[in-house]
Amino acid sequence: MTLEKRLLISSSHISHVWTVHVRENPSHNGMATKYPPLLVAKIFDPLFFGGKGADAFDAFLVRDINLYTEVKAYEDLKHFQGTVIPQFYGLFVAALPAQRNRPVYILLLEEVPGKDLYRILPPHVAERVCLKHKEAILEGVLNLLFDFCECGVNPMEDMRPRNIILRPQKHVVSEAQFCTTDSCPATRKIDCDDLHLVMVDFESIEFMDEQDRTWNRAHRQEQVKDLKSRLLEEQWLEVLHSANHQPPTQMSQPMDQEPAERPPKLRKTYYQGLDLQLHASHPPPTPASNTGLMKDSAIRYVKPIELYKQSIAERTVLPSTPPALTITLEKRLSTSTRRVPHVWTAHVRGKPSVNGETTRTTETEYPPLLVAKIFDPVFFDGEDADLFDAFLVRDISVSSEVKSYEKLKHLQGTVLAQFYGLFVATLPTQHNRSVYIILLEKVPGNDLYHILPPDVAEDACPKHRDAILDNALNLLFDFCECGVNLQDMNPRNIILRPQEHEVSEAQFCTTDNCPAAHRIDCNDLHLVMIDFESVEFMDEQDRAAIHVSRQEQSEELKLKLQENKWLESRMLCV
């Protein structure tokens, strides 16, 4: 086969996915085999193992698990191949002659016509999709999910929009309108009555035994209804990185066997209009380990009810003094982190100023709208969550964030958000268990990921790429010289403040098809870096070394990030 084009994929670990042309051999295993002219090749090469937390994994073991899971899933779902999953053409091994003939495994799959839901309706576009389209898409996806579950294959863990392809709809024409909501971006693109969806990527699968399959079949209708309601509420179609939905408990546990006390649900814990009384707090002691990983001997699946009970047992005893302030949650925000924080915009309860620009509590003035980062280990998430101690990760994240803002105090309000303090709040409906909350400035503007989503950023011109990356690296090295080395410089963690003189007629580069040509003035970039949970604190000697070799290191890192297509990345640590 001959590699043609590398594809953007949802997997953050081993798979490298390409479209390929097959150069037909006379036979395979003694039999002639016919292949379509274009296929998809998934290359499992542990040498290029990536993703957050990669150091905690055995790359070869992950490769073997992923291969076994994918092949078994396609075998178990053989009768669905070519319709609602790609046709599977087999597992192969290839040697790399230029690298001492080391072998790599390769899966060959059908190149499914159409586009995935993430590209058709990126998160910033999906926010405007009407309820009719959202429900139709979710019902189609959930029908596939439960069809597969009845065959013993549960792909819920990685059921994200980018893993769902919509086949072309032949009768969709520019004049047609498929809903009555004019502002809905799907109104002329997607016919709700003619959805042909295909699910791809079966590396993260739970295989179900006969008992679970039988129970699942009997309760399918109510499960579809409950899960649809939950995913609509959690904004499944809009979520940036939605691999982390866990299968509902009903999928593996009959209703008549409910535990005496169930763990709380996220949507019933934090919601629009919730009031939280905040008490000023010191950060938790900095843990000796800066990874949050469990010891090898302690690695196990921790049930949500265990996290809930531990959170109750370790709740903070609040002072008898009145709370420092009360906030009201307004809107949950999409964030780059997949661990502990749940991020909301929030209003401060207090007396507004005459012009409405600030809100005064008994002691402090705050802007009318803030960002609240809630660190709640009960809702610890991530595909590798079993390897981490949720409470340890919380303590590391909180202490890192607070320490970073303190070290960078002179930069607050300009190139990083203004920090309004660390607080603790109790949840009265959950045995008064306590959570840490950080209050930050709501920075005006939008993050680079929303301004230039990966599929759009591909067309950005070199001038804009250089300007954005140069400015981001200047911030990174400014922080390093203050002793804060940010480990999570993702495009979604960088906000571009509004450019005052931006007008529709202006053109800021000479490349006509550059998506930033009329939107971003390269000479007036005011970037703000957010999210300081993953940082490395540098001693005086390292800071001095950075100062001396800053230009050389910056140029070297810039070349690396350009090579890795940093602006197009969905998740990248540097």
Answer for the pair 109, 88: CB distance below 8 angstroms, yes or no.
Answer: yes
Residue 278 has pLDDT above 90, yes or no: yes
Q: Which of 248-257, 296-305, 548-557 is the least confident region?
A: 248-257
- Helix (H/G/I), strand (E/B), else coil: 558: helix
Closest CA to 477 of 422, 405, 550: 550
Mean pLDDT within 171-197? 82
Instruction: Give the model's confidence band at 208: pLDDT under 50 very low, under 70 low, under 90 confident, else very high.
Output: confident
Residue 315 has pLDDT above 80, yes or no: yes
Residue 388 has pLDDT above 60, yes or no: yes
Radius of gyration (Cα) for the chain, nearest Å? 25
Query: How are beta strands 164-166 and 115-116 bridged, if at all?
Result: antiparallel
**What does the pLDDT look like over 61-88, one tens digit per residue?**
888 888 889 999 999 999 999 999 999 9
Mean pLDDT within 386-393? 80
Give CA–CA dist 373/361, Å, rounded: 20
pLDDT reported for residue 303: 79
Length of the chain: 574
Instruction: Give the model's confidence band at 220: pLDDT under 50 very low, under 70 low, under 90 confident, else very high.
Output: confident
- Helix (H/G/I), strand (E/B), else coil: 197: strand
Residue 245 has pLDDT above 50, yes or no: no
Answer for the pair 234, 159: CB distance below 8 angstroms, yes or no.
Answer: no
pLDDT reported for residue 291: 54
| Phi (first) and psi of residue 224, to 5 degrees | -60, -45
Give CA–CA dist 9/31, Å, rounded: 33
Q: According to the per-residue pLDDT averaged within each range, which of 28-32, 286-290, 322-326 is highest?
A: 322-326
pLDDT reported for residue 369: 92
Any residues with CB less than 8 A from the CB of 246 and at least 6 apart, and which?
A: 156, 157, 381
Closest CA to 494 of 336, 330, 333, 371: 336
pLDDT reported for residue 218: 80
Mean pLDDT within 380-399? 76
Residue 30 has pLDDT above 60, yes or no: no
- Tokens coding 422: 């660390």
- Helix (H/G/I), strand (E/B), else coil: 6: strand
Degrees, nearest 5: CA angle 547-553-557: 140
Round the average pLDDT of the chain to a whole number and report it.
Answer: 83
Residue 275 has pLDDT above 80, yes or no: yes
- Tokens coding 233: 């509420």
Query: How are beta strands 38-44 and 102-110 bridged, if at all?
Result: antiparallel
Q: Which of 128-142, 204-218, 286-300, 391-405 is the least confident region?
A: 286-300
Answer for the pair 7, 19: CB distance below 8 angstroms, yes or no.
Answer: yes
- What DSSP letter does each residue of 103-164 carry, written as one string? EEEEEEEE--SSEEHHHHS-HHHHTT--HHHHHHHHHHHHHHHHHHHTTTEE-GGG--GGGE
Degrees, nearest 5: CA angle 510-512-513: 130
**What does the pLDDT look like over 155-170, one tens digit per residue?**
887 788 889 999 998 7
pLDDT reported for residue 250: 36
Task: List Cα–Cα distances, 82 to 33, 98, 317, 349, 538, in angstroms.
Answer: 17, 35, 59, 57, 54
Residue 504 has pLDDT above 80, yes or no: no
Mean pLDDT within 319-339? 78
pLDDT reported for residue 379: 85
Query: How are beta strands 325-332 and 88-96 bridged, if at all?
Result: unpaired
With the C-alpha atoms ordered 241, 244, 248, 251, is the resulting torsion angle positive or negative? positive
Q: State in Å, rounded, how far the first CA of the chain is from the last one.
A: 33
Q: Give 334's Cβ-side CA count (13 Å radius).
A: 19
Mean pLDDT within 141-148? 94
Mean pLDDT within 376-388? 70
Percent of the chain with pLDDT over 70: 82
Following CA atoms 411, 414, 415, 421 in sequence, which dihedral angle do they give, to the nearest 10 degrees? Answer: 60
- What DSSP letter does each residue of 392-447 carry, written as one string? HHHHHHHHHHHHHHHHTGGGBTTTBPPEEEEEEEEEGGGTTEEEEEEEEE--SSEE
Domain annotation for the chain: domains and CATH numbers: 2-110 (3.30.200.20), 115-256 (1.10.510), 266-441 (3.30.200.20), 446-568 (1.10.510)
pLDDT reported for residue 76: 94
- Helix (H/G/I), strand (E/B), else coil: 318: coil
pLDDT reported for residue 503: 57
Mean pLDDT within 300-329? 84
Closest CA to 147 of 211, 92, 84: 84
Which of the pair, 258 or 6, is modelled with greater confidence?
6
Residue with tokens 């008992």: 211
Answer for the pair 93, 107: CB distance below 8 angstroms, yes or no.
Answer: no
Instruction: Give the model's confidence band at 440: pLDDT under 50 very low, under 70 low, under 90 confident, else very high.
Output: very high
pLDDT reported for residue 174: 58
pLDDT reported for residue 54: 58
Instruction: Give the model's confidence band at 142: pLDDT under 50 very low, under 70 low, under 90 confident, else very high.
Output: very high
**What does the pLDDT look like over 522-557, one tens digit per residue?**
988 999 999 888 899 999 999 999 989 999 999 999
Within 10 angstroms of residue 31's Cβ, the number of other Cβ atoms is: 6
Q: Give 105's Cβ-side CA count (13 Å radius).
A: 17
Instruction: Kindly report the three-state secondary structure assignment for every residue of 368-397.
Output: CEEEEEEECHHHCCCCCHHHECHHHHHHHH
